[in-house]
Amino acid sequence: MTNITKIALGKNGPLVSKLGLGCMRMSPVWGGPTNDENESIATIQEALDNGINFLNTGDFYGAGHNELLVGKAIKGRRDDAFISVKFGAIFYGSQMLGLDLRPIAIKNFINYSLVRLGVDTIDLYQPCRLDNSVPMEDVIGTVADLIKEGKVRYLGVSEITADQLRKANSIHPVTALEIGYSLADRQIESDLLPVAKELGIGVVAFANTAEGLLTGEMKAPLPANDYHLHFSRFQGNNFVKNLEKVEVLKQIAKDKGCTPTQIAIAWVNTQGEHMMPLVSMSRRSRLPENIKAMDISFTREEMNALNTHFAPGAILGGTYLQR
């Protein structure tokens, strides 16, 4: 058993594991088969056994399937888990239709989430993103009301701009910002991350391997039915050039006796004590590698090499992180 370092999630926030477990891939969000449920539950429980208490889910992951799964995994050990739930996305089958951030909808969403999770309180509750369909005061204010009622402990936000973060925090203190961040996606370093640090907001960083690009396992050309082909990063010459960039990452990993995935996670981890890598896993076999990544440190030369080679904009094309 390994004990993961604990950090305060944001200024004066709750203690959580420095490594978070993303549960989304345990459910069929974008279509495709459902992973083995027993293995998924065992993965969550083994993560908890190793001190990973931050569990990230969404009420729209698999139409509630993911919350039901998390609920089964934490039954009888609620105090071991810190549950983060995203809401607001409306799916029909595997197609996202848009957002519903009306107060009446949020109050409906949370009741279903509490039942599926089998809990009385959700630790961190956050709109999956914000648009202009509903005034932010109404969205954030509704979550603030749920906090007063005891149904939610802390407010989170996800995939928003620096200006939106400031405004949300002025309405009610924001504990955590969930955002995509990796060596390949560094655009938030210029504005969003400095604001989060200034305001004392914790950063939950997902997509550390940039949709698999930084694992070092992808090869061109991709199969014609590969979902990556929807994104310009994995198309044509962009993909070829990006794979060339990844070769440097693979060499650094080889020199350090670890995997490119571990380097990618470790780089995010070393960006600050307020930064939590959120890593998606659906199999217990992935836990040891990802946990060991949290112990990797870099020399000044290694960090300079990574930051130079993967400077903002070095990876061509985008992914859903630019939605």
All residues at 6 or more sequence positions from 302 whose CB lies less than 8 Å from its CB, including other chains:
252, 256
Token output for 97: 């239709």
Q: Which of 84, 103, 83, 32 is nearest to 62 (CA)?
A: 32
Annotated catalytic residue 154: no
Catalytic residue among 61, 125, 154, 181: 61
- Placement of tokens 């939590």 in the chain: 276
**Does residue 218 contact residue 243 with C-beta atoms inside 8 Å?**
yes
Give the per-residue SS3 of the chain: CCCCCEEECCCCCCEEECCEEECHHHCCCCCCCCCCHHHHHHHHHHHHHCCCCEEEEECCCCCCHHHHHHHHHHCCCHHHCEEEEEECEEEECCEEEEECCCHHHHHHHHHHHHHHHCCCCEEEEEECCCCCCCCHHHHHHHHHHHHHHCCEEEEEEECCCHHHHHHHHHHCCCCEEEEECECCECHHHCCHHHHHHHHCCEEEEECCCCCCHHHCCCCCCCCCCCHHHHCHHHCHHHHHHHHHHHHHHHHHHHHHCCCHHHHHHHHHHCCCCCEEEEEECCCHHHHHHHHHHCCCCCCHHHHHHHHHHCCCCCCCCCCHHHC
**Does residue 110 contact residue 122 with C-beta atoms inside 8 Å?**
yes
Residues annotated as catalytic are 61
